[in-house]
Structure 1
């Protein structure tokens, strides 16, 4: 025999409140007193109530789901980013569907079509390398609100949430120069996106501002193998650097491993600075100097922008940029000769 479905009326009867009050609690409305809310939530738990999302979708013409597309899951940055987005969407009574494009345009298109099939209410998109601005127009033509985050294609086509990477790179280069590391290389990624472009632009500006010497740019794949093999390329530069600024903490951790394999001490022989300030930065040896860009805040900002867009499709385009902060640790503390 199938168990009897628990309804709002049943919960209301047990809790001694109206069905409307139970409905407010289910929809996480702030209009219900805390004591009453806790009582109703306890009854819901005791009766093992599960909300019928399908029925709610039919009533409201909304799936209460949104899609998030990121380019890779190698980098735990995106885990923190997703955490922020999920928190805000949970407050808005929505569920997040996560997909990894692997920086592949065809896969990104497939994911978007699947999201359409699932009837997601909107999308937070970190565009795959090579994404054309026309994709944003297509998505909007489907009636699907979209917010770009961390990477951006086109100009002012959608709401955008990201970090000030130009300022973050400036902070890193200034820190290296202040500690005597004046011949600086940039360890970047092979993927050419707005995120890499901003870092390169910031690097050029910071060199000009500080008078530091450009030891050139090295590009590697954003993989663990690519990161581990980066030291060989860096050390082979004609103008061997005394300091290296890395695209992110993964490349920085791999570089430090490679430097040690080459008999060099990070922070003593070569200074290393990362970008992102993931938990990994405090687990390397020596601990990694990095520029915090607060991915959870960015994810939350992207979600808020999407909630705003879902509420008002005609709202003006908005940008949310999180300010970076330098976290100095031993990988760059030692003074250069």
Structure 2
């Protein structure tokens, strides 16, 4: 027989307070005096108290969980994104369930059905490639609020959190041109998503603004091996670019590895710029110039939008767009003629 779990009543009796006071402490209410909160929390820890989520769900008709679906876990961007989601959802007493769609619509559908089965309160969705624009509306039809993040399907069909990647690419191109680079190529992922479209839109805009030459667009799989192999395609471009702007830091790091294997020195022989500014950017050789978008901030923004949607189901859709910033390191040097 399993040992009896301590209840709110047990904790209240030991602490010499009411059950209602213990309940307020468990829910993180600011209405409890700090000394009382500390004493109750100490007793809960001593008694190994665990909140009965099942009972709370029955009382509140809420699972106190939200689902997050991302397209891959290769990119550390999503780890930081999740940390932002968890930080905000923690303040709302909700647990985050993470799932990886592997950029598969079929797998994404299976995950959504499992989330429905678990009764999650809402979903933050970074849609898989090929997702149809009607999906957010279908999810809402299940009684499950949804916020799209980083990738968007449909127009004005849900709340959305992301970064201004189009402007981020323009910022990177202005920096490259200021450093003397005129022939600029773009290394993109293959997946046809709004994230790719945003970046390519920024590339076209940056070319028009700066007068730089489009030295070509090369595609690669979002993986270390794919990015490294793309170096051969970049070096084979007839336009002979002096700078490469990459879809994200993962592709940039892989590309620099491939360039070094081909005897080309990133930064010195060929400028490389990434997007996202992950911790990885400081650990590449040379350290990578990148566009910072703060994935944790975007994750927190998505979580706040979902919390708002849960409390105000009929509120107008909102967008949270984080402003990108240029972080200069050694992978871009001034071009000398």
Which range, TM-score by smaller chain? over 0.9
- Corresponding residue of 2:53: 53
- Corresponding residue of 1:90: 90
Q: Report the Cα distance in structure 2 between the residues aligned to 1:304 and 1:336, rounded to whole angstroms.
A: 48
Q: Report the Cα distance in structure 2 between the residues aligned to 1:90 and 1:77, rounded to whole angstroms.
A: 20
Q: What displacement does 1:15 show?
A: 1.1
- Is 1:113 matched with 2:93? no
Q: Report the Cα distance in structure 2 between the residues aligned to 1:178 and 1:36, rounded to whole angstroms.
A: 60
- Corresponding residue of 1:131: 131
Stretches of structure 2 that go unaligned for 5 or more consecutive residues are: none
- Within 5 Å, which residues of 2 pair with 1:23-102? 23-102=23-102
Partner of 1:244, secondary structure, is: strand
Q: Deviations over 1:295-336 (max 9, x none)?
A: 000000000000000001001100000001100000003434
- Corresponding residue of 2:181: 181
Q: Report the Cα distance in structure 2 between the residues aligned to 1:336 and 1:142, rounded to whole angstroms.
A: 60
Question: Does the CA-based 8 Å contact 1:146-1:159 persist in structure 2?
Answer: yes
Q: Report the Cα distance in structure 2 between the residues aligned to 1:275 and 1:336, rounded to whole angstroms.
A: 25
Partner of 1:229, secondary structure, is: helix
Question: Does the CA-based 8 Å contact 1:184-1:243 persist in structure 2?
Answer: yes
Give the TM-score normalised by structure 1.
0.99
Q: Report the Cα distance in structure 2 between the residues aligned to 1:131 and 1:33, rounded to whole angstroms.
A: 49
- Corresponding residue of 2:274: 274
The runs of at least 4 aligned residues of structure 1 exceeding 4 Å deviation read none
- Is 1:203 matched with 2:170? no
Aligned residues between the structures: 337
- Corresponding residue of 1:285: 285
Q: Which moves more between the two structures, 30-39 or 169-178?
A: 30-39
Give the aligned CA root-mean-square deviation in angstroms: 0.8
Question: Does the CA-based 8 Å contact 2:131-2:153 persist in structure 1?
Answer: yes
Give the TM-score normalised by structure 2.
0.99
Q: Deviations over 1:133-191 (max 9, x none)?
A: 11111101001000000000000100000000011001100010111111100000000
- Corresponding residue of 1:232: 232
Stretches of structure 1 that go unaligned for 5 or more consecutive residues are: none
